[in-house]
């Protein structure tokens, strides 16, 4: 009857001892980063950038995020655990900014600077936000699309959602640029596929069926773009210009084989790096801009293997 007690005891002590050195080094500068996700390749690329920054500035970081982007309360638990370790600063990508505000306020009252990354927090607590200018990035996608279509025709958008900041900014960035600059291009449909590859495939197929002769489609994130590619493959549609967003193996493959014209990529590595850099600057009392633009690129068959592009793509 002692077995469970002793087994759990032994295990916990092992874990504790294994990580004790890290925990005891109190004089080092510790910056926890609480992300929106963890397993997704995009977040792993953000982590890689943060690790790079940590090494350069001589700080220790941890990088955590909930299993999926709906687990708002789990993210708050992570923030609470991070606060227990007396961090020098915190990097935070809010799933729901309102829900996190009490803890963020507690941190800022304790004098811990907060740097938001990826998406903003609707409050003045974060000292800066390291993020992609999604409106400008989607406008670039519209420019490229117009170039391929020769300034006329019909296009459709498969967006990931109509509620998140990134979903709204990318959709509107694309639509507004089309409306203001390219009067002969008509946006015939904007549909939402939740960023899920399968769901986006169905949405894209419905659009293709409803709009024969469609000139181009824009997918606002990895899942949406891959959904369009899948739909075109399954229906054997031809002559469609596809522009995607972010990367991932399926999308880069589609670009290499010419099925997809090109895609916008954010700079996830830059997001991670700039967050750590800003956190260190904030700790040292330096002034920071409200928004740190981490940049974006358009890539296609011609430049996909450039070192500059390869550095920000992920599989």
Partner 1 sequence: MSTTTVEAPKSTLSQIIAAGTHQRVLAFASLVVLLIGFSLASPNFMQTSNMLAILQATSVNGVLAIAVTLVIITGGIDLSVGTMMTFCAVITGVVLTYAGMPLMLGVVAAVLTGAACGACSGTFVAKMAIPPFIATLGMMLILKGLSLVISGTRPIYFNDTPGFSEISRGSLIGEVFPALPIPNGVLILFIVAAVTAYILNRTVLGRYCFALGSNEESVRLSGVNTDRWKIAIYALAGSIVGIAGLLIASRLNSAQPALGLGYELEAIAAVVIGGTSLSGGRGSILGSLIGALIMAVLTNGLRVLSVAQEWQTVVTGAIIILAVYADMMRRNKTN
198 binds partner 1 (CB under 8 A): no
Residue among 55, 77, 152, 290 that touches partner 1 (CB under 8 A): 77
* Binding region for partner 1 (CB under 8 A) out of 7-15, 118-126, 249-257, 265-273: 7-15
CB of 159 to partner 1, least distance (A): 13
Residue among 38, 57, 148, 298 that touches partner 1 (CB under 8 A): 38
Q: Which is nearer to partner 1, 13 or 291 (CB)?
A: 13
83 binds partner 1 (CB under 8 A): yes
Contact (Cβ atoms closer than 8 angstroms) between residue 51 and residue 272: yes
Instruction: Report the C-alpha gap between 231 and 83 in whole angstroms.
Output: 46
Instruction: Report the C-alpha gap between 139 and 148 in whole angstroms.
Output: 14
**Nearest Cα residue to 58 out of 28, 100, 17, 19:** 28
**Nearest Cα residue to 275 out of 89, 12, 4, 26:** 89
* Binding region for partner 1 (CB under 8 A) out of 97-105, 121-129, 230-238, 272-280: 97-105
Instruction: Report the C-alpha gap between 296 and 262 in whole angstroms.
Output: 13
* Binding region for partner 1 (CB under 8 A) out of 63-71, 135-143, 207-215, 231-239: 63-71
* Binding region for partner 1 (CB under 8 A) out of 75-83, 118-126, 178-186, 299-307: 75-83
Record the tokens describing residue 61, joined without a space: 């970081």
Strand order across the 60-64 sheet: 60-64, 30-34, 90-92, 114-117, 128-131, 291-293
Residue among 56, 68, 105, 233 that touches partner 1 (CB under 8 A): 68
Residue among 73, 122, 181, 257 that touches partner 1 (CB under 8 A): 73
Q: Which is nearer to partner 1, 133 or 161 (CB)?
A: 161
User: Using only C-alpha atoms, what is the Rg of the chain?
Assistant: 22
Contact (Cβ atoms closer than 8 angstroms) between residue 137 and residue 173: yes
Residue among 85, 180, 209, 303 that touches partner 1 (CB under 8 A): 85
* Binding region for partner 1 (CB under 8 A) out of 22-30, 136-144, 180-188, 223-231: 22-30
Residue among 28, 56, 98, 151 that touches partner 1 (CB under 8 A): 98
Helix ranges (DSSP H) in 39-196: 41-57, 72-84, 97-109, 134-149, 165-181
Total binding residues for partner 1 by CB under 8 A? 47
Give the containing element (helix H, strand E) for 243. Answer: strand 241-245
Instruction: Report the C-alpha gap between 222 and 197 in whole angstroms.
Output: 8
86 binds partner 1 (CB under 8 A): yes
Q: CA geometry: angle at 178 spanning 175 and 180, to 5°?
A: 105
Residues in contact with partner 1, shown as a per-residue x/- string from 101 to 140 under the rule CB under 8 A? -x--------------------------------------
Q: Rounded to whole angstroms, what are the CA distances from 231 to 179, 220, 237? A: 26, 15, 8
Please give the residue ranges that form the binding site for partner 1 (CB under 8 A): 1, 3-5, 7-9, 11-13, 15-17, 19-20, 22-24, 26, 38, 62-65, 67-68, 70-73, 76-78, 80-86, 96, 98-99, 102, 161-163
């Amino acid at each position: 009857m002692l077995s469970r007690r002793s087994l759990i005891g032994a295990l916990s002590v092992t874990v504790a001892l294994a990580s004790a050195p890290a925990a005891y080094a109190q004089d080092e500068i510790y910056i926890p980063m609480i992300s929106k996700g963890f397993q997704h390749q995009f977040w792993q690329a953000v982590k890689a950038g943060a690790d790079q920054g940590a090494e350069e500035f001589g700080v220790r970081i941890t990088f955590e995020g909930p299993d999926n982007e709906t687990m708002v309360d789990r993210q708050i638990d992570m923030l609470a655990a991070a606060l227990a370790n007396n961090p020098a600063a915190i990097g935070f990508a809010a799933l729901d900014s309102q829900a996190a505000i009490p803890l963020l306020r507690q941190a800022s009252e304790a004098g811990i600077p907060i740097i938001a990354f990826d998406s903003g927090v609707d409050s003045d607590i974060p000292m800066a936000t390291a993020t992609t200018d999604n409106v400008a990035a989607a406008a670039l996608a519209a420019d490229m699309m117009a170039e391929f279509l020769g300034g006329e025709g019909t296009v459709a958008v498969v967006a990931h959602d109509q509620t998140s900041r990134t979903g709204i900014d990318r959709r509107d960035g694309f639509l507004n640029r089309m409306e203001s600059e390219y009067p002969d291009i008509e946006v015939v449909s904007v549909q939402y596929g939740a960023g899920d590859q399968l769901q986006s495939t169905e949405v894209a197929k419905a659009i293709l069926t409803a709009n024969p002769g469609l000139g181009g489609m824009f997918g606002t994130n990895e899942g949406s773009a891959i959904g369009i590619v899948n739909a075109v493959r399954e229906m054997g549609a031809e002559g469609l210009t596809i522009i995607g967003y972010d990367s991932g193996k399926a999308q880069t493959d589609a670009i290499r084989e010419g099925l997809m014209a090109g895609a916008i990529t954010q700079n996830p590595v830059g997001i991670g790096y700039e967050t750590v850099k800003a956190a260190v600057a904030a700790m040292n009392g330096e002034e920071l801009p409200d928004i740190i633009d981490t940049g974006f690129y358009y890539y296609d068959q011609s430049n996909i293997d450039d070192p500059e592009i390869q550095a920000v793509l992920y599989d």
